[in-house]
Amino acid sequence: MLALAGSPAREAPAAATSDATVDAALAAGRSLYAFDCSVCHGPTGGGLEEARLAFPPEHRRCTRCHKPNNPVVMPLDRPFVDNDMFAIGTPPALHGAARDAAADGAPLAALARPEALFAYLRATMPRYDPGRETDLEYWLLTAHLLDMNGRAEAAREAVGAAVALGFTAP
């Protein structure tokens, strides 16, 4: 379903993207997020404090295994040495409602242009294995994060870019 089409067109005319396609792309983005991002950023983007609650109580102290001095990037398909798990850092909340703007500033997804958010995600997330998603998937994740921040028009633009890479509503 998420296969890549040939041309890496970056921007598609937003007006040409139907509401049904936008809904399907946002649903696909939500499910990618649930698989690859919510483990650190929380199911609704509330940050590590929310993410912790999805773990059994005895696993909530992440640094017991993901030691802060361990490497940050450690793809899961490589063998782990001495049970050294990647450091997870402090995954922030991804939307304004869950974030202390005074302490942390506004979330990137509340401010950035869609292409800038896409470029950030592709270069850095998921933090232990950046670049592991396809460009099409990064656009769907971009659309989801923009939608999470109430940016409907920007989310539609990101969906347009996913459509240009071959996304079609199922």
Q: Which residues bind ligand HEC (CB under 6 A)?
A: 36-37, 39-41, 51-52, 55, 59-60, 62, 64-66, 76, 85, 88-92, 94, 107-109, 121, 124-128, 141, 145
- Closest to ligand HEC by CB, 36 vs 135, is 36
- Nearest approach, Cβ of 23 to ligand HEC (angstroms)? 19
- Closest to ligand HEC by CB, 16 vs 84, is 84
Cα separation, 130 vs 152, whole angstroms: 26
Cα separation, 98 vs 50, whole angstroms: 10
- Nearest approach, Cβ of 16 to ligand HEC (angstroms)? 26
- Closest to ligand HEC by CB, 39 vs 119, is 39
- Nearest approach, Cβ of 143 to ligand HEC (angstroms)? 11
- Closest to ligand HEC by CB, 128 vs 156, is 128
- Closest to ligand HEC by CB, 13 vs 68, is 68
H-type alpha helices, the chain: 19-36, 38-41, 48-52, 101-104, 108-111, 114-124, 135-148, 152-164
- Give the three-class secondary structure for 121: helix
- Nearest approach, Cβ of 136 to ligand HEC (angstroms)? 13
Contact partners, residue 93, CB within 8 Å, separation at least 6: 41, 42, 45, 46, 47, 50, 99, 104, 107
- Nearest approach, Cβ of 15 to ligand HEC (angstroms)? 26
* Other beta carbons less than 10 A from residue 105's beta carbon: 12
